[in-house]
Amino acid sequence: MIIFVKLLLAHLIGDFLLQPTSWVEDKEKNKQKSLYLYLHIFLHGAIAWILVGEKDFFWFAILLAVSHGFIDFLKLYFQTKKTKRIWFSIDQILHLLVIVIVTLIYTNTKIKLDHLSSQFWIVLTGIVLLTKPTSIIIKNIISIWTPENKTKDNSLQNAGNYIGILERLFVFCFILIGHFEAIGFLLAAKSIFRFGDLKEAKDRKLTEYVLIGTLLSFGVALLIGLLVQISLGFPF
């Protein structure tokens, strides 16, 4: 279990936190000729090896890196503008399958870690997952409903993205400490401030778009929070 959590954390860091948009664009343009593709592959193997923290995991880290590169190459080669969303999902599913397979093979050694260390890695993975990775996933899901004509936006740069991350982290913390009622308060508070502006904009499509994004954000935070709580053995 803890090996899978560490490898999932390594994947989230390598595929989302340490992969700028400029790298993605360069890979899509130059494919196998992109230097960033190979740097991305190296980072995945290195991060996995570092987080697992065992010398004998070295060859498994290489296996993860090579398989990750192969899957990324397939996506870059076959995806088009119309199928980009589909290939994003396929890409992530294949990466998770590889992580599961490597975990099952490697855990035959039955590595033992103390309970406190296990809790740390589980909570840290949940936190990382709820930041930029979830933002990208939600953006990819609701991109098919992006309003063509948006109202003039005078908000701070990337404010919406950071608000979403903060609200998911708050929900995550509320679940871990057992205060589910605070989640309702947080959702109500956001509704008052956010949807008041949308009402003034008088754009139904934009309102529905924001509502879907908000509900997805809270839903993912609830799901991850409950999964982490179950993993830690906490009562609801």
- Per run of 10 residues, the mean pLDDT along the chain (length 236 residues) is 90 92 92 93 95 90 95 92 89 94 79 64 91 90 73 64 90 90 84 64 71 89 92 69
Instruction: Give the pTM.
Output: 0.73
Within 10 A of 93 (CB to CB), how many other CB atoms are there? 11
Q: Which long-range CB contacts under 8 A does 111-115 form with residues at least 24 apart?
A: 111/2, 111/3, 111/54, 113/2
Q: Which of the 8 DSSP states describes residue 155? A: S
Burial of 56 (0-12, 13-18, 19+ CB in 10 A): exposed
